[in-house]
Amino acid sequence: MAGMTTTALLIVDVQNDFTEGGALACEGGIRTAVGIAEHVREHGDDYATIAASRDWHDPGSSNGGHISATPDFVDTWPPHCIAGTEGAEYRPELDADRIDLHVRKGMGVPAYSAFEGVVDDGRPLAEALRDAGVEAIDIVGIATDHCVRASALDALEAGFEVRVLAGLTAAVAAERGDAALAEVRAAGAEVVGERGR
């Protein structure tokens, strides 16, 4: 792993709708948000930059078939993280002031990976990270088996060293979460710890 001065922290989709009480809640989501907030307080200054992604779906749209009134929970999902709603906001445990790069994804189209999104000035995430001198990424967030997995695989594809902090992730389904961690490990990522139970 590269020195911490060239490492970014990527917080994936720690949003109200993906935690308990939200439209598409993951068990352990709030616990994960609290753990990530503690990690940032303790280690935030060790990172070159901190990025955080959010689903940011267009209102009144299927967002390219991603959102459905009759979801299959594999490729289609109930309405969630609609732009401008409370469900799309970061969990309140996160200190948004510590986030350097705010990434929005899924604006009118299906998107799982944070690398499909753009930062506030319109740059793709990979470009913004490279501009910050980042060579390696620690990834945390929700959900292990969907957006964390996709973000880790895309980060590897983009040439970054990747470490997934498994204890700071939450899965939609436990078995799929474990399989996702095995997949990203096989693809070349380092997986640290065990996924939160």
Catalytic residue (one of 26, 55, 138, 147): 147
Is 81 an annotated catalytic residue?
Answer: no
Catalytic residue (one of 13, 55, 138, 154): 13
In whole angstroms, give the CA distance from residue 34 to residue 193: 17
Tell me the backbone φ, ψ of residue 155, rounded to 5 degrees: -65, -45
In whole angstroms, give the CA distance from residue 145 to residue 109: 19
Is 121 an annotated catalytic residue?
Answer: no
Catalytic residue (one of 17, 55, 81, 105): 105
Is 26 an annotated catalytic residue?
Answer: no
Q: Note if the bond before 180 is cis, omega within 30 degrees.
A: no
- Closest alpha carbon to 48 in 103, 116, 164, 128: 128
User: Tokens standing for 132?
Assistant: 């910050």
Q: 77-97: buried (b, 16+ CB within 10 Å) or exposed (e) per residue? A: bebbbbbeeebbebbebbeee
- Burial (CB count within 10 angstroms: exposed 0-12, middle 13-18, buried 19+), residue 120: exposed
In whole angstroms, give the CA distance from residue 106 to residue 10: 17
Residues marked as catalytic:
13, 105, 147
